[in-house]
């Protein structure tokens, strides 16, 4: 499970807090290993939907994410397959719009629609074998799992990648979201995107899901690109 201190402010607060703590521990271990090695002499969708690369100074920085992934246990062997297998985590949803009334059921239906369209779009390209992330919790995503637990769950279904994400409703007209594609065997981030879209309707969520799928499909997952990250 993630931090018990999680508060409904950001869809990523749970992960942000956990990763920041792990990053400090990982940096300490890395510096220690470098010192030992040196002393020993041994080698060491539509136009309305937009995306951007996450900057280094972001609240959930790539440094923090990579630090968390580096702190995981050894990956094990890579599953041999012509088509990589991608596990889709449940998308976490947060409504901070302040709108009156209880619309939880309506919003859940739209999140379900988003996940269905995303899964179908990814599968239709033939680039991935799509499987669901499985865990003993009602939801298997960043709302209830740490990055470490999500990657471990993906490993149990023999996935090469796991896609984590969240959607936040800022107002009636504005929504935002985040996608993170993690290389399971290598324990490193392969892609991070922040999305913004307009509208709180089935069509808006469908377009956002289609655009998200294109981002994943078009991501450069070649060994050269993975090694450069």
132 within some domain? yes
150 within some domain? yes
pLDDT of residue 217: 95
What is the full per-residue pLDDT of the chain (229 aa) written as tens digits?
Answer: 333 222 333 344 444 443 344 443 433 344 444 444 444 444 443 434 444 444 434 444 443 454 555 555 344 444 444 899 999 999 999 999 988 888 889 999 999 999 999 999 999 999 999 999 999 998 999 999 999 999 999 999 999 999 999 999 999 889 999 999 999 999 999 999 998 989 999 999 999 999 999 999 999 988 767 666 6
174 within some domain? yes
Give me the CATH number covering residue 58: 3.40.50.10070
pLDDT of residue 170: 92
Q: What is the pLDDT of residues 77-111, one digit of tens each?
A: 444 448 999 999 999 999 999 888 888 899 999 99
Domains: count for the chain: 1
- Residue 211: which of 54, 50, 55 has the closest Cα? 50
7 within some domain? no
108 within some domain? yes
pLDDT of residue 229: 61
Domain limits for position 39 = 13-228
Q: What is the pLDDT of residues 152-183, one digit of tens each?
A: 999 999 999 999 999 999 998 899 999 999 99
5 within some domain? no
**Contact yes or no for 145/135 (Cβ under 8 A):** yes
**Which residues are 95's β-sheet partners?**
169
Burial class for 43, CB neighbours closer than 10 Å (0-12, 13-18, 19+): exposed
4 within some domain? no
Distance CA 77, CA 160 (A): 10
182 within some domain? yes
């Amino acid at each position: 499970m993630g931090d018990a201190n999680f508060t409904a402010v950001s869809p990523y607060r749970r992960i942000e807090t956990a990763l920041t703590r792990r990053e400090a521990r990982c940096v300490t271990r890395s510096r220690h290993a470098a010192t030992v090695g040196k002393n020993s002499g041994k080698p060491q969708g539509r136009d309305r939907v937009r995306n951007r690369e996450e900057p280094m100074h972001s609240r959930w920085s790539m440094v923090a994410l990579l630090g968390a992934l580096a702190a995981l246990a050894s990956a094990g062997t890579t599953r041999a397959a012509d088509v990589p297998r991608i596990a889709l985590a449940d998308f976490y949803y947060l409504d901070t719009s302040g709108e009156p009334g209880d619309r939880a059921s309506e919003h859940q239906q739209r999140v379900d629609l988003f996940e269905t369209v995303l899964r179908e779009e990814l599968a239709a390209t033939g680039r991935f074998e799509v499987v669901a992330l499985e865990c003993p919790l009602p939801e298997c995503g960043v709302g209830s799992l740490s990055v470490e637990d999500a990657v471990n769950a993906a490993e149990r279904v023999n996935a090469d990648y796991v896609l984590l994400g969240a959607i936040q409703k800022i107002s009636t007209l504005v929504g935002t979201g985040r996608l993170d594609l993690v290389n399971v065997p290598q324990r490193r981030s392969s892609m991070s995107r922040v999305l913004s879209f307009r509208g709180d309707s089935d069509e808006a969520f469908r377009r956002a899901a289609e655009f998200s799928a294109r981002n994943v499909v078009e991501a450069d997952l070649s060994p050269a690109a993975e090694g450069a990250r």
